[in-house]
Amino acid sequence: MDRIRIVGGNQLNGEIHISGAKNAALPLMIASLLTEEPLVLVNVPRLADVKQLERILENHGVDIAVHGRRRGDTEMGGQRITFTASDIVDTTAPYELVSTMRASFWVIGPLLAREGHAKVSLPGGCAIGTRPVDFYLDGLRQLGAEIEIDAGYVLARAPGGRLKGASVRFPKVSVGATHVVMMAATLAEGTTTIENAALEPEVTNLAECLVAMGAKISGIGTGRLVIEGVEKLDGAIHEVVPDRIETGTYAFAAAMTGGEVFLRNARPELLQSALDVLVRTGVDVTTEEGGLRIKRNGNGIMPVDVETDPFPGFPTDLQAQFMALMARSSGVSAIKETIFENRFMHVAELARFGANIHVDGQTATVTGVPELKGAQVMATDLRASVSLVIAGLAARGETVVNRIYHLDRGFERLENKLSRCGAEIERIAG
Ligand code: EPZ
Protein backbone atom coordinates (compact mmCIF):
# COMPACT_ATOMS: atom_id res chain seq x y z
CA MET A 1 0.00 0.00 0.00
CA ASP A 2 1.28 3.49 -0.86
CA ARG A 3 2.71 5.72 1.85
CA ILE A 4 3.56 9.39 2.06
CA ARG A 5 6.96 10.48 3.29
CA ILE A 6 7.46 14.00 4.57
CA VAL A 7 10.54 15.73 5.87
CA GLY A 8 9.13 18.54 7.97
CA GLY A 9 10.32 22.04 8.63
CA ASN A 10 9.93 23.80 5.27
CA GLN A 11 7.69 26.83 4.99
CA LEU A 12 4.95 26.75 2.36
CA ASN A 13 5.26 29.52 -0.22
CA GLY A 14 3.49 29.78 -3.55
CA GLU A 15 0.13 28.99 -5.07
CA ILE A 16 -2.25 26.06 -4.60
CA HIS A 17 -5.13 25.46 -6.98
CA ILE A 18 -8.32 24.52 -5.13
CA SER A 19 -10.21 21.69 -6.81
CA GLY A 20 -13.94 21.13 -7.13
CA ALA A 21 -15.52 19.86 -3.92
CA LYS A 22 -15.76 16.12 -3.49
CA ASN A 23 -18.85 16.50 -1.34
CA ALA A 24 -20.57 18.56 -4.02
CA ALA A 25 -19.44 16.44 -6.97
CA LEU A 26 -20.82 13.21 -5.48
CA PRO A 27 -24.47 14.30 -5.05
CA LEU A 28 -24.35 16.15 -8.40
CA MET A 29 -23.24 12.95 -10.12
CA ILE A 30 -26.08 11.10 -8.40
CA ALA A 31 -28.56 13.71 -9.63
CA SER A 32 -27.87 12.47 -13.17
CA LEU A 33 -30.07 9.47 -12.32
CA LEU A 34 -33.08 11.80 -12.22
CA THR A 35 -33.14 12.49 -15.96
CA GLU A 36 -32.79 10.59 -19.22
CA GLU A 37 -30.94 13.56 -20.68
CA PRO A 38 -27.21 14.33 -20.35
CA LEU A 39 -26.00 16.14 -17.24
CA VAL A 40 -22.64 17.81 -17.87
CA LEU A 41 -20.59 18.52 -14.77
CA VAL A 42 -17.66 20.92 -14.91
CA ASN A 43 -14.78 21.14 -12.41
CA VAL A 44 -15.12 17.54 -11.21
CA PRO A 45 -12.10 16.60 -9.05
CA ARG A 46 -9.93 13.57 -9.85
CA LEU A 47 -10.53 11.48 -6.76
CA ALA A 48 -10.95 7.84 -5.82
CA ASP A 49 -14.47 8.53 -4.49
CA VAL A 50 -15.50 10.04 -7.83
CA LYS A 51 -14.17 6.93 -9.63
CA GLN A 52 -15.99 4.64 -7.23
CA LEU A 53 -19.28 6.49 -7.72
CA GLU A 54 -18.77 6.28 -11.50
CA ARG A 55 -18.69 2.48 -11.13
CA ILE A 56 -21.90 2.54 -9.12
CA LEU A 57 -23.68 4.79 -11.61
CA GLU A 58 -22.47 2.68 -14.54
CA ASN A 59 -24.00 -0.34 -12.85
CA HIS A 60 -27.37 1.45 -12.92
CA GLY A 61 -26.94 2.10 -16.66
CA VAL A 62 -25.43 5.59 -16.69
CA ASP A 63 -23.11 6.35 -19.63
CA ILE A 64 -20.15 8.41 -18.56
CA ALA A 65 -17.96 10.42 -20.94
CA VAL A 66 -14.93 12.32 -19.74
CA HIS A 67 -14.24 15.24 -22.07
CA GLY A 68 -10.77 15.91 -23.43
CA ARG A 69 -8.83 19.11 -22.92
CA ARG A 70 -10.32 22.39 -24.04
CA ARG A 71 -8.43 25.47 -25.21
CA GLY A 72 -7.36 27.50 -22.19
CA ASP A 73 -7.58 24.51 -19.79
CA THR A 74 -4.75 24.32 -17.29
CA GLU A 75 -3.20 21.17 -15.94
CA MET A 76 -4.77 21.91 -12.55
CA GLY A 77 -8.31 22.42 -13.86
CA GLY A 78 -11.05 19.94 -13.02
CA GLN A 79 -12.64 17.40 -15.32
CA ARG A 80 -15.67 17.94 -17.51
CA ILE A 81 -17.81 14.80 -17.45
CA THR A 82 -21.15 13.99 -19.07
CA PHE A 83 -23.48 11.58 -17.28
CA THR A 84 -26.38 10.17 -19.27
CA ALA A 85 -28.92 7.92 -17.60
CA SER A 86 -31.18 7.37 -20.64
CA ASP A 87 -32.25 3.97 -19.36
CA ILE A 88 -31.92 2.80 -15.77
CA VAL A 89 -31.25 -0.90 -16.20
CA ASP A 90 -30.79 -1.86 -12.56
CA THR A 91 -32.21 -0.25 -9.42
CA THR A 92 -30.01 -2.29 -7.07
CA ALA A 93 -26.89 -0.74 -5.54
CA PRO A 94 -24.98 -3.78 -4.30
CA TYR A 95 -22.97 -4.10 -1.09
CA GLU A 96 -19.67 -4.62 -2.94
CA LEU A 97 -19.99 -1.19 -4.54
CA VAL A 98 -21.70 0.80 -1.77
CA SER A 99 -19.84 -0.44 1.30
CA THR A 100 -16.75 1.75 0.89
CA MET A 101 -18.49 5.09 0.47
CA ARG A 102 -21.44 6.35 2.45
CA ALA A 103 -22.52 8.89 -0.18
CA SER A 104 -23.31 6.09 -2.63
CA PHE A 105 -26.36 5.29 -0.48
CA TRP A 106 -27.81 8.55 -1.77
CA VAL A 107 -28.74 6.90 -5.09
CA ILE A 108 -31.82 5.68 -3.24
CA GLY A 109 -33.54 9.08 -3.67
CA PRO A 110 -33.31 9.45 -7.46
CA LEU A 111 -33.85 5.73 -8.17
CA LEU A 112 -37.01 5.66 -6.09
CA ALA A 113 -38.28 8.94 -7.53
CA ARG A 114 -37.69 8.01 -11.16
CA GLU A 115 -38.23 4.23 -11.22
CA GLY A 116 -40.60 3.80 -8.28
CA HIS A 117 -38.36 1.28 -6.55
CA ALA A 118 -34.79 0.79 -5.32
CA LYS A 119 -32.72 -1.76 -3.44
CA VAL A 120 -29.67 -0.18 -1.87
CA SER A 121 -27.13 -1.69 0.50
CA LEU A 122 -26.81 0.05 3.86
CA PRO A 123 -23.73 2.27 3.68
CA GLY A 124 -20.13 2.07 4.90
CA GLY A 125 -17.66 4.96 4.78
CA CYS A 126 -15.26 6.63 7.20
CA ALA A 127 -15.07 5.30 10.76
CA ILE A 128 -16.23 8.47 12.51
CA GLY A 129 -19.35 7.34 14.34
CA THR A 130 -22.39 5.14 13.88
CA ARG A 131 -23.93 7.37 11.16
CA PRO A 132 -27.43 5.89 10.92
CA VAL A 133 -29.84 6.43 8.00
CA ASP A 134 -33.07 6.92 9.96
CA PHE A 135 -33.60 10.53 8.74
CA TYR A 136 -33.36 9.41 5.13
CA LEU A 137 -35.79 6.54 5.58
CA ASP A 138 -38.27 8.60 7.63
CA GLY A 139 -38.11 11.37 5.02
CA LEU A 140 -38.76 8.96 2.16
CA ARG A 141 -41.60 7.34 4.13
CA GLN A 142 -43.16 10.79 4.50
CA LEU A 143 -43.07 11.00 0.70
CA GLY A 144 -45.13 7.79 0.62
CA ALA A 145 -42.37 5.21 0.20
CA GLU A 146 -42.79 1.75 1.68
CA ILE A 147 -39.50 0.68 3.17
CA GLU A 148 -38.19 -2.64 4.42
CA ILE A 149 -34.74 -3.63 5.60
CA ASP A 150 -33.67 -7.09 4.55
CA ALA A 151 -30.24 -8.74 4.77
CA GLY A 152 -28.33 -5.46 4.90
CA TYR A 153 -30.36 -3.85 2.12
CA VAL A 154 -32.99 -1.13 2.13
CA LEU A 155 -35.88 -2.09 -0.14
CA ALA A 156 -37.93 0.97 -1.05
CA ARG A 157 -41.06 1.19 -3.18
CA ALA A 158 -43.34 4.05 -4.17
CA PRO A 159 -46.92 2.73 -4.30
CA GLY A 160 -48.38 3.53 -7.73
CA GLY A 161 -44.85 4.19 -8.99
CA ARG A 162 -44.59 7.83 -7.85
CA LEU A 163 -43.69 9.53 -4.59
CA LYS A 164 -46.05 12.13 -3.14
CA GLY A 165 -45.11 15.58 -1.87
CA ALA A 166 -45.20 15.95 1.91
CA SER A 167 -43.91 17.94 4.83
CA VAL A 168 -40.58 16.65 6.15
CA ARG A 169 -38.82 17.99 9.24
CA PHE A 170 -35.40 16.63 10.11
CA PRO A 171 -34.79 16.25 13.87
CA LYS A 172 -31.16 17.32 13.32
CA VAL A 173 -29.38 18.91 10.38
CA SER A 174 -28.22 16.24 7.96
CA VAL A 175 -26.42 17.00 4.71
CA GLY A 176 -27.06 13.60 3.15
CA ALA A 177 -30.71 13.35 4.18
CA THR A 178 -31.32 16.84 2.74
CA HIS A 179 -29.68 15.82 -0.56
CA VAL A 180 -31.74 12.64 -0.79
CA VAL A 181 -35.16 14.00 0.15
CA MET A 182 -34.64 17.09 -2.03
CA MET A 183 -33.71 14.96 -5.06
CA ALA A 184 -36.60 12.56 -4.45
CA ALA A 185 -39.10 15.43 -4.05
CA THR A 186 -38.20 17.00 -7.43
CA LEU A 187 -40.10 14.20 -9.22
CA ALA A 188 -42.81 13.61 -6.59
CA GLU A 189 -46.44 14.48 -7.18
CA GLY A 190 -47.26 17.75 -5.40
CA THR A 191 -45.30 19.99 -3.05
CA THR A 192 -42.70 18.97 -0.45
CA THR A 193 -41.39 21.20 2.30
CA ILE A 194 -38.16 20.30 4.05
CA GLU A 195 -37.74 21.96 7.44
CA ASN A 196 -34.38 22.09 9.19
CA ALA A 197 -32.66 21.45 5.86
CA ALA A 198 -28.87 21.58 5.78
CA LEU A 199 -27.40 24.94 4.65
CA GLU A 200 -24.05 23.54 3.53
CA PRO A 201 -22.76 25.04 0.25
CA GLU A 202 -22.79 21.56 -1.28
CA VAL A 203 -26.57 21.38 -0.71
CA THR A 204 -26.99 24.77 -2.39
CA ASN A 205 -24.78 23.63 -5.28
CA LEU A 206 -27.01 20.57 -5.77
CA ALA A 207 -30.23 22.60 -5.47
CA GLU A 208 -29.00 25.03 -8.12
CA CYS A 209 -28.16 22.14 -10.44
CA LEU A 210 -31.62 20.63 -9.93
CA VAL A 211 -33.19 24.00 -10.79
CA ALA A 212 -31.05 24.14 -13.96
CA MET A 213 -32.48 20.68 -14.75
CA GLY A 214 -36.02 22.08 -14.45
CA ALA A 215 -36.81 21.38 -10.80
CA LYS A 216 -38.93 23.92 -8.91
CA ILE A 217 -37.19 24.66 -5.64
CA SER A 218 -37.48 27.77 -3.49
CA GLY A 219 -35.76 28.70 -0.25
CA ILE A 220 -32.35 27.60 -1.55
CA GLY A 221 -29.66 28.47 1.00
CA THR A 222 -32.19 28.55 3.87
CA GLY A 223 -33.33 25.91 6.33
CA ARG A 224 -36.74 25.63 4.64
CA LEU A 225 -36.81 24.23 1.13
CA VAL A 226 -40.05 24.10 -0.84
CA ILE A 227 -40.04 21.74 -3.79
CA GLU A 228 -42.88 21.54 -6.25
CA GLY A 229 -42.64 18.18 -8.00
CA VAL A 230 -42.48 18.00 -11.81
CA GLU A 231 -43.13 15.09 -14.20
CA LYS A 232 -39.62 14.98 -15.58
CA LEU A 233 -36.28 16.75 -15.43
CA ASP A 234 -33.99 17.79 -18.29
CA GLY A 235 -30.25 17.79 -18.81
CA ALA A 236 -28.07 20.72 -17.76
CA ILE A 237 -24.50 21.99 -17.55
CA HIS A 238 -23.37 22.72 -14.03
CA GLU A 239 -20.16 23.63 -12.23
CA VAL A 240 -18.95 21.95 -9.05
CA VAL A 241 -18.32 24.52 -6.30
CA PRO A 242 -14.68 24.87 -5.06
CA ASP A 243 -13.78 22.60 -2.16
CA ARG A 244 -14.07 24.55 1.10
CA ILE A 245 -12.52 21.71 3.10
CA GLU A 246 -9.51 21.49 0.81
CA THR A 247 -9.25 25.29 1.10
CA GLY A 248 -9.32 25.19 4.89
CA THR A 249 -6.86 22.31 4.98
CA TYR A 250 -4.22 24.17 2.96
CA ALA A 251 -4.90 27.38 4.86
CA PHE A 252 -4.22 25.53 8.14
CA ALA A 253 -1.15 23.87 6.59
CA ALA A 254 0.28 27.29 5.65
CA ALA A 255 -0.53 28.59 9.12
CA MET A 256 1.26 25.59 10.59
CA THR A 257 4.48 25.88 8.57
CA GLY A 258 4.57 29.65 8.17
CA GLY A 259 5.04 31.27 4.77
CA GLU A 260 2.62 32.74 2.28
CA VAL A 261 0.25 30.79 0.09
CA PHE A 262 -2.31 31.93 -2.47
CA LEU A 263 -5.28 29.55 -2.68
CA ARG A 264 -6.51 29.99 -6.23
CA ASN A 265 -10.27 29.52 -6.76
CA ALA A 266 -10.95 29.50 -3.00
CA ARG A 267 -14.21 31.20 -2.06
CA PRO A 268 -13.98 32.71 1.43
CA GLU A 269 -17.75 32.86 1.97
CA LEU A 270 -17.81 29.05 1.91
CA LEU A 271 -15.68 28.81 5.05
CA GLN A 272 -15.92 32.16 6.79
CA SER A 273 -16.15 30.66 10.30
CA ALA A 274 -12.92 28.70 9.80
CA LEU A 275 -11.15 31.76 8.37
CA ASP A 276 -12.30 33.85 11.35
CA VAL A 277 -10.75 31.27 13.65
CA LEU A 278 -7.56 31.28 11.62
CA VAL A 279 -7.29 35.06 11.95
CA ARG A 280 -7.64 34.69 15.72
CA THR A 281 -4.66 32.30 15.71
CA GLY A 282 -2.59 35.21 14.35
CA VAL A 283 -2.61 34.49 10.63
CA ASP A 284 -3.24 37.12 7.92
CA VAL A 285 -6.10 36.11 5.66
CA THR A 286 -6.79 38.35 2.66
CA THR A 287 -9.40 37.96 -0.01
CA GLU A 288 -8.03 38.80 -3.44
CA GLU A 289 -9.37 38.51 -6.94
CA GLY A 290 -9.45 34.82 -7.83
CA GLY A 291 -8.71 33.46 -4.39
CA LEU A 292 -7.45 33.82 -0.87
CA ARG A 293 -4.03 34.69 0.53
CA ILE A 294 -2.81 33.10 3.76
CA LYS A 295 0.29 34.41 5.47
CA ARG A 296 2.08 33.75 8.74
CA ASN A 297 5.47 35.26 9.16
CA GLY A 298 7.47 34.52 12.26
CA ASN A 299 4.81 35.09 14.91
CA GLY A 300 3.56 32.18 16.98
CA ILE A 301 0.23 30.36 16.74
CA MET A 302 -2.32 31.61 19.27
CA PRO A 303 -4.64 29.03 20.86
CA VAL A 304 -8.34 29.35 19.93
CA ASP A 305 -11.31 27.33 21.23
CA VAL A 306 -13.53 25.82 18.57
CA GLU A 307 -16.83 23.97 18.44
CA THR A 308 -17.92 22.20 15.26
CA ASP A 309 -21.38 23.02 13.96
CA PRO A 310 -23.45 22.68 10.82
CA PHE A 311 -22.84 25.40 8.20
CA PRO A 312 -22.21 28.31 8.64
CA GLY A 313 -20.45 27.06 11.80
CA PHE A 314 -16.96 25.61 12.00
CA PRO A 315 -17.00 22.43 9.83
CA THR A 316 -16.47 19.03 11.41
CA ASP A 317 -14.46 18.15 8.29
CA LEU A 318 -11.78 20.66 9.41
CA GLN A 319 -11.69 19.64 13.06
CA ALA A 320 -8.76 17.19 12.77
CA GLN A 321 -6.68 19.62 10.70
CA PHE A 322 -7.32 22.41 13.21
CA MET A 323 -6.29 20.13 16.04
CA ALA A 324 -2.95 19.54 14.32
CA LEU A 325 -2.46 23.31 14.17
CA MET A 326 -3.40 23.76 17.82
CA ALA A 327 -0.87 21.08 18.77
CA ARG A 328 1.79 23.72 18.00
CA SER A 329 0.00 26.71 19.56
CA SER A 330 1.44 28.78 22.36
CA GLY A 331 -1.25 27.80 24.88
CA VAL A 332 -4.29 25.63 25.64
CA SER A 333 -7.31 25.27 23.35
CA ALA A 334 -10.54 23.28 23.64
CA ILE A 335 -11.96 21.62 20.55
CA LYS A 336 -15.52 20.34 20.83
CA GLU A 337 -16.96 17.96 18.24
CA THR A 338 -20.74 18.20 18.12
CA ILE A 339 -21.58 16.51 14.78
CA PHE A 340 -20.09 13.02 15.10
CA GLU A 341 -19.66 11.14 18.36
CA ASN A 342 -16.45 9.36 17.45
CA ARG A 343 -14.36 11.76 15.46
CA PHE A 344 -11.21 11.91 17.57
CA MET A 345 -9.43 8.92 16.07
CA HIS A 346 -6.57 11.21 15.00
CA VAL A 347 -5.75 12.11 18.61
CA ALA A 348 -3.71 8.98 19.27
CA GLU A 349 -1.81 9.46 16.00
CA LEU A 350 -1.11 13.16 16.67
CA ALA A 351 0.26 12.07 20.04
CA ARG A 352 2.91 10.10 18.14
CA PHE A 353 4.34 13.44 17.00
CA GLY A 354 4.55 14.51 20.63
CA ALA A 355 1.26 16.45 20.67
CA ASN A 356 -0.33 16.90 24.09
CA ILE A 357 -4.07 16.22 23.73
CA HIS A 358 -6.53 15.04 26.32
CA VAL A 359 -10.01 13.87 25.31
CA ASP A 360 -12.96 14.02 27.65
CA GLY A 361 -16.24 13.05 25.99
CA GLN A 362 -16.81 15.31 23.00
CA THR A 363 -14.06 17.79 23.91
CA ALA A 364 -10.34 17.58 23.22
CA THR A 365 -8.06 19.85 25.21
CA VAL A 366 -4.91 20.60 23.27
CA THR A 367 -1.87 22.00 25.04
CA GLY A 368 0.50 23.37 22.44
CA VAL A 369 4.09 22.16 22.42
CA PRO A 370 7.10 24.07 21.04
CA GLU A 371 8.04 21.30 18.64
CA LEU A 372 6.53 18.21 16.99
CA LYS A 373 8.79 15.33 16.00
CA GLY A 374 8.32 13.26 12.84
CA ALA A 375 6.81 9.78 13.30
CA GLN A 376 5.29 6.76 11.58
CA VAL A 377 1.53 7.29 11.62
CA MET A 378 -1.63 5.85 10.12
CA ALA A 379 -5.11 7.28 9.82
CA THR A 380 -8.57 5.81 9.87
CA ASP A 381 -10.45 8.45 7.90
CA LEU A 382 -9.93 11.04 5.23
CA ARG A 383 -9.74 14.25 7.25
CA ALA A 384 -7.77 12.55 10.03
CA SER A 385 -5.22 11.42 7.43
CA VAL A 386 -4.64 14.94 6.18
CA SER A 387 -4.28 16.25 9.75
CA LEU A 388 -1.27 13.93 10.04
CA VAL A 389 0.18 15.40 6.85
CA ILE A 390 -0.20 18.90 8.34
CA ALA A 391 1.55 17.80 11.53
CA GLY A 392 4.29 16.14 9.47
CA LEU A 393 4.92 19.32 7.46
CA ALA A 394 5.84 21.16 10.64
CA ALA A 395 7.47 18.31 12.56
CA ARG A 396 11.21 17.95 12.90
CA GLY A 397 12.59 15.04 10.85
CA GLU A 398 10.84 12.37 8.86
CA THR A 399 7.18 11.41 8.95
CA VAL A 400 5.66 8.47 7.12
CA VAL A 401 1.87 8.44 6.74
CA ASN A 402 0.73 4.88 6.13
CA ARG A 403 -2.57 3.69 4.64
CA ILE A 404 -3.04 6.76 2.49
CA TYR A 405 -5.92 5.45 0.39
CA HIS A 406 -8.17 7.68 2.46
CA LEU A 407 -6.24 10.73 1.22
CA ASP A 408 -6.73 9.68 -2.38
CA ARG A 409 -10.47 9.53 -1.75
CA GLY A 410 -10.66 13.25 -1.07
CA PHE A 411 -7.51 15.24 -1.91
CA GLU A 412 -6.52 15.68 -5.53
CA ARG A 413 -2.72 15.65 -6.15
CA LEU A 414 -1.98 16.40 -2.51
CA GLU A 415 1.76 15.77 -2.60
CA ASN A 416 2.09 17.60 -5.90
CA LYS A 417 0.25 20.70 -4.62
CA LEU A 418 2.30 20.81 -1.42
CA SER A 419 5.70 20.10 -2.99
CA ARG A 420 5.19 22.92 -5.50
CA CYS A 421 5.03 25.22 -2.47
CA GLY A 422 8.30 23.96 -1.06
CA ALA A 423 7.24 21.02 1.11
CA GLU A 424 9.47 17.96 1.09
CA ILE A 425 6.81 15.36 0.48
CA GLU A 426 6.68 12.29 -1.74
CA ARG A 427 4.58 9.21 -2.35
CA ILE A 428 6.29 5.88 -1.82
CA ALA A 429 4.64 3.14 -3.87
CA GLY A 430 4.02 -0.36 -2.55
C1 EPZ B 1 -21.67 14.77 5.01
O2 EPZ B 1 -21.88 13.49 5.57
C3 EPZ B 1 -20.26 14.77 4.48
N4 EPZ B 1 -20.11 13.73 3.47
C5 EPZ B 1 -19.28 14.54 5.62
O6 EPZ B 1 -17.96 14.61 5.10
C7 EPZ B 1 -19.47 15.63 6.66
O8 EPZ B 1 -18.64 15.37 7.76
C9 EPZ B 1 -20.93 15.67 7.12
O10 EPZ B 1 -21.81 15.81 5.97
C11 EPZ B 1 -21.23 16.81 8.07
O12 EPZ B 1 -20.91 18.03 7.46
C13 EPZ B 1 -20.43 13.98 2.21
O14 EPZ B 1 -20.93 15.05 1.86
C15 EPZ B 1 -20.15 12.92 1.20
P16 EPZ B 1 -24.84 14.21 8.08
P17 EPZ B 1 -23.35 13.02 5.98
O18 EPZ B 1 -25.98 13.37 7.64
O19 EPZ B 1 -24.32 13.60 5.04
C20 EPZ B 1 -26.56 12.16 12.06
C21 EPZ B 1 -15.84 13.77 4.52
O22 EPZ B 1 -14.79 13.59 5.18
N23 EPZ B 1 -27.55 11.43 11.24
O24 EPZ B 1 -24.92 15.68 7.89
O25 EPZ B 1 -23.28 11.55 6.12
C26 EPZ B 1 -25.14 11.69 11.79
O27 EPZ B 1 -24.84 10.50 12.45
C28 EPZ B 1 -17.18 13.39 5.10
O29 EPZ B 1 -15.84 14.27 3.39
C30 EPZ B 1 -28.47 10.62 11.85
O31 EPZ B 1 -28.51 10.50 13.08
O32 EPZ B 1 -23.49 13.68 7.41
C33 EPZ B 1 -24.35 12.89 12.25
O34 EPZ B 1 -24.23 12.84 13.65
C35 EPZ B 1 -17.05 12.70 6.40
N36 EPZ B 1 -29.38 9.96 11.07
C37 EPZ B 1 -25.25 14.06 11.88
O38 EPZ B 1 -26.56 13.51 11.69
C39 EPZ B 1 -29.39 10.07 9.73
O40 EPZ B 1 -30.23 9.44 9.07
C41 EPZ B 1 -24.85 14.81 10.63
O42 EPZ B 1 -24.55 13.89 9.60
C43 EPZ B 1 -28.45 10.92 9.11
C44 EPZ B 1 -27.53 11.59 9.89
CATH code (residue 199): 3.65.10.10
Which one of 205, 239, 273 terminates a domain?
239
Choose the weakest-confidence range: 70-74, 113-117, 142-146: 70-74
Give the rounded percent of residues in the chain with a pLDDT score beyond 90. Answer: 89
Instruction: Tell whether residue 383 is among the known ligand binding residues.
Output: no
pTM (global) more than 0.75:
yes
CA distances from 299 to 31, 100, 191, 296, 306 (A): 47, 42, 55, 7, 21
| The ligand 1 atom nearest the CA atom of 103 | 15
How many A from CA of 426 to the centre of ligand 1? 31
Asked if 204 and 90 sit in the same domain, the reply is: yes
Whether residue 127 is predicted with pLDDT greater than 60 in this model: the reply is: no
Asked if 10 and 29 sit in the same domain, the reply is: no
Instruction: Tell whether residue 205 is among the known ligand binding residues.
Output: no
Asked if 91 and 108 sit in the same domain, the reply is: yes
First-residue to last-residue Cα distance in the chain: 5
Give, using CA atoms, the residue closest to atom 27 of ligand 1.
Answer: 131
Which pLDDT tens digit goes with each residue over 284-333? 999 999 999 999 977 899 999 999 999 999 999 999 999 999 999 999 99
> Closest Cα to residue 44, out of 18, 70, 16, 25?
25
Asked if 266 and 395 sit in the same domain, the reply is: yes
Asked if 410 and 281 sit in the same domain, the reply is: yes
CA distances from 396 to 258, 353, 357 (A): 14, 9, 19
Asked if 132 and 215 sit in the same domain, the reply is: yes
Contact 303, 330 (CB under 8 A): yes
Asked if 246 and 390 sit in the same domain, the reply is: yes
Predicted local distance difference test score (pLDDT) of residue 285:
98
Predicted local distance difference test score (pLDDT) of residue 117:
98
Asked if 9 and 45 sit in the same domain, the reply is: no
Asked if 199 and 341 sit in the same domain, the reply is: no
Quickly state the pLDDT bin for 124 (edges 50, 70, 90). low
Instruction: Tell whether residue 51 is among the known ligand binding residues.
Output: no
Asked if 354 and 265 sit in the same domain, the reply is: yes
Which pLDDT tens digit goes with each residue over 165-223? 999 999 999 999 999 999 999 999 999 999 999 999 999 999 999 999 999 999 999 99
Instruction: Tell whether residue 220 is among the known ligand binding residues.
Output: no
> Closest Cα to residue 333, out of 360, 357, 300?
357
Which one of 239, 257, 279 terminates a domain?
239
Which one of 194, 221, 239 terminates a domain?
239
Q: Which residue from 175, 243, 336 has its CB within 8 A of the most atoms of ligand 1, so it is best to mutate? A: 175
Q: Which residue from 131, 179, 308, 343 has its CB within 8 A of the most atoms of ligand 1, so it is best to mutate? A: 131
Give the count of domains, the chain: 2
Whether residue 340 is predicted with pLDDT greater than 70 in this model: the reply is: yes
Quickly state the pLDDT bin for 77 (edges 50, 70, 90). confident
Give, using CA atoms, the residue closest to atom 10 of ligand 1.
Answer: 175
Predicted local distance difference test score (pLDDT) of residue 129:
54
- Tell me the residue range of the domain where 301 lies: 3-17+242-428
Asked if 140 and 174 sit in the same domain, the reply is: yes
Predicted local distance difference test score (pLDDT) of residue 130:
58
Asked if 276 and 169 sit in the same domain, the reply is: no
Catalytic residue ranges: 126
Which pLDDT tens digit goes with each residue over 387-424? 999 999 999 999 999 989 889 999 999 999 999 999 99
| The ligand 1 atom nearest the CA atom of 26 | 15
